[in-house]
Amino acid sequence: MKVFLSADMEGTCGIVSWPETDRSTSFDYSPYCKQMSAEVAAACRGALSAGAEEVLVKDAHDSARNIDPNILPRKIRMNRSWSGDLLSMMSGLDQEKFDAVFFTGYHAWAGCPGNALSHTMNGRNNQVWLNGVLCSEFLINAYTAGYFGVPVAMITGDAAICEFAKQLIPAITTVPVNVGRGGGVTSMHPAEAVERIEAAAQEAVKHARECVVPMPEQFHMEIDFVKHHVAYSKHFYPGAYLKDNKVVCFDSNDWYEILRFCHFVLSNA
């Protein structure tokens, strides 16, 4: 069994403000960078102790140079920085065969009150819709896993994204470390989060096969941009169209084409 782990930061235990996620603000960032690494290490330890042979860790936040590999167990490899391929936070999943995907540090979608830092890919959109559902990075990355036939077995992060994940994939193992309310957060003790994530990863390996992602046959994405001129410029992507002055739409029955649209229109807005 080989695990692919995509690690974000805004759903790390205790995080509630942007400087805590930004490596240029060392005073705020440093303890949360350590906690992010500790949570990833716990997920790797859990997976390995339950029988996984290897974990490929994708550092998937901002610079993608956050996690300290020194505290991770030996049987890991790490994908750092951004290759520029369409898989983005899942970069590497298409390069070899994996048996399970884990998400750590994940967060609620743009417009969701479940995390003070909720967003979808960046702050240049108000919200993103996918087949009529408000779209999170989790949903995009889960469909990418589904596209490559890999089950999504675990997610850790805020309670809102964990709850959403349970609805999409009932057998998924979740560890909600934070509960957001307005601009604030109620979090568990960071050491408790680490302990629970390690135990959850063991469970997740056992239940991985039950965690198949249900793939829609058709995809319709709408991006509500903050600025009308960005929407205008982006609607020239082949096949895209404007719904109104700020909303760009795209349709495909091929998830990889949605990823291509996201790469040029959503992520690089």
Binding site for Zn ion (CB under 5 A): 8-10, 61
Q: Which two tokens stand for residue 167?
A: 């609805």
Q: Which residues of 108-124 are buried (b: 16+ CB within 10 A; e: fewer)?
A: bbbebebbbbbbbbeeb
Q: How far is the CB of 163 from Zn ion (least distance, A)?
A: 19
Q: Which two tokens stand for residue 163?
A: 């709850």
Measuring CA to CA, which residue among 194, 269, 192, 199 is closest to residue 230?
A: 269
Q: How far is the CB of 121 from Zn ion (least distance, A)?
A: 9
Tokens 């890999």 locate to 150
Residue spans of beta strands (DSSP E) within the chain: 2-7, 54-59, 76-79, 100-106, 125-130, 133-134, 152-158, 173-181, 184-187, 219-225, 241-244, 247-252
Nearer to Zn ion, 9 or 72 (CB): 9
Q: How far apart are CA 37 and CA 134, in angstroms?
A: 29
Q: How far is the CB of 10 from Zn ion (least distance, A)?
A: 5
Q: How far is the CB of 2 from Zn ion (least distance, A)?
A: 24
Nearer to Zn ion, 9 or 56 (CB): 9
**Axis crossing angle, helix 159-168 with helix 137-147, rounded to the nearest 10:** 30
Q: How far is the CB of 66 from Zn ion (least distance, A)?
A: 9
Nearer to Zn ion, 66 or 202 (CB): 66
| DSSP at 122 | B
| Closest-approach residue to Zn ion (CB) | 61
Nearer to Zn ion, 62 or 224 (CB): 62
Q: How far is CA 234 from the centre of its chain?
A: 24
CA dihedral 268, 122, 112, 129 (to 10 degrees): 0
Question: What residues are paired with 173 via a beta bridge?
Answer: 154
Q: How far is the CB of 158 from Zn ion (least distance, A)?
A: 12
Nearer to Zn ion, 10 or 198 (CB): 10
Nearer to Zn ion, 67 or 205 (CB): 67
Q: How far is the CB of 58 from Zn ion (least distance, A)?
A: 12
- Tell me the DSSP string of 134-190: EPPHHHHHHHHHHHTT--EEEEEEEHHHHHHHHHH-TT-EEEEEEEEETTEEEE--H
Q: Which two tokens stand for residue 23?
A: 């490596």
Nearer to Zn ion, 9 or 116 (CB): 9
Nearer to Zn ion, 144 or 202 (CB): 144
Q: How far is the CB of 89 from Zn ion (least distance, A)?
A: 8
